[in-house]
């Protein structure tokens, strides 16, 4: 293995980190945009309340990402995330299978929300570790807060609604 210049390595890592932040910003924007399109289709008041609350979390995540770039005096240019685009495409296909079956459509929506939450936990965790490596302790903390918010969303909301949907379909 050849020795590398630490300054070049740091520059490359920094570029990767910034690009990844831009991808997460794109992901947050895309998720919010798609939620706005389907929000009125949600019939279950409890599911609507949970996902509307989660929409507020997306807004917080967007704001945190914007703030980091503002502090640095840089422009935040959303960068397409192929992973999020693929999950979104898959979600669209899955939801379309149940366009005339609201109970299963909502159940599928819960599964989609769960996929996105897990993706965001993994992505924000990775970014927090990179922030530590690059000596951005405040940003690492904010990114860790984003991870915690997603974990709390899963534990306190999705698991509950998932269970209630399964129980209601057993009784049908």
What is the secondary structure of 12-77 as a DSSP string? Answer: HHHHHHHHHHHHHHHHHHHHHHHHHHHGGG---HHHHHHHHHHHHHHHHHHHHHHHHHHHHT----
Rg of the chain in Å (alpha carbons)? 18
Residues 6+ apart with CB under 8 A from 123: 20, 23, 24, 27
Q: What is the pTM of this model?
A: 0.88
Predicted local distance difference test score (pLDDT) of residue 5: 80
Is pLDDT above 80 for 38? Answer: yes
Is pLDDT above 60 for 81? Answer: yes
Could you say which of 1.10.760.10, 1.10.150.120, 1.20.1260.10, 2.60.98.20 is the CATH number of the domain covering 6-170? Answer: 1.20.1260.10
What's the mean pLDDT in 144-165?
Answer: 87
Predicted local distance difference test score (pLDDT) of residue 99: 92
pLDDT confidence bin for 102, thresholds 50/70/90: very high
Structure tokens at 118: 């897990």
Handedness of CA 18, 59, 49, 80 (dihedral sign): negative
What's the mean pLDDT in 28-42?
Answer: 93
pLDDT confidence bin for 166, thresholds 50/70/90: confident
Helix axes 102-133, 6-38, angle to 10 degrees: 160
Q: What residue ranges do the domains of the chain occupy? A: 6-170
Predicted local distance difference test score (pLDDT) of residue 170: 54
Q: Rounded distance, CA 44 to CA 54, Å?
A: 15
Is pLDDT above 60 for 63? Answer: yes
Predicted local distance difference test score (pLDDT) of residue 80: 93
Average pLDDT score, the chain: 90
Q: What does the pLDDT look like over 119-133, one tens digit per residue?
A: 999 999 999 999 999
Q: Rounded distance, CA 103 to CA 98, Å?
A: 8
Q: What does the pLDDT look like over 1-22, one tens digit per residue?
A: 556 787 888 899 999 999 999 9
Predicted local distance difference test score (pLDDT) of residue 162: 72
């Amino acid at each position: 293995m050849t020795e590398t210049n630490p300054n070049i390595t740091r520059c490359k890592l920094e570029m990767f980190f910034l690009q990844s932040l831009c991808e997460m910003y794109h992901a947050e924007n895309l998720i919010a945009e798609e939620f706005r399109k389907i929000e009125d289709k949600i019939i279950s008041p409890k599911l609507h309340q949970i996902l509307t609350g989660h929409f507020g979390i997306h807004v917080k995540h967007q704001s945190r990402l914007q703030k980091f770039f503002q502090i640095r005096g840089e422009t935040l240019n959303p960068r397409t995330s192929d992973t999020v685009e693929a999950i979104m495409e898959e979600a669209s296909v899955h939801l379309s299978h149940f366009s005339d079956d609201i109970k299963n459509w909502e159940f599928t929506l819960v599964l989609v929300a769960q996929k996105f939450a897990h993706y965001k936990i993994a992505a924000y965790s990775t970014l927090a570790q990179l922030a530590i490596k690059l000596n951005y302790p405040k940003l690492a903390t904010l990114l860790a807060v984003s991870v915690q918010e997603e974990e709390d969303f899963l534990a306190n909301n999705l698991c509950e609604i998932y269970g209630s949907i399964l129980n209601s379909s057993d009784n049908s």
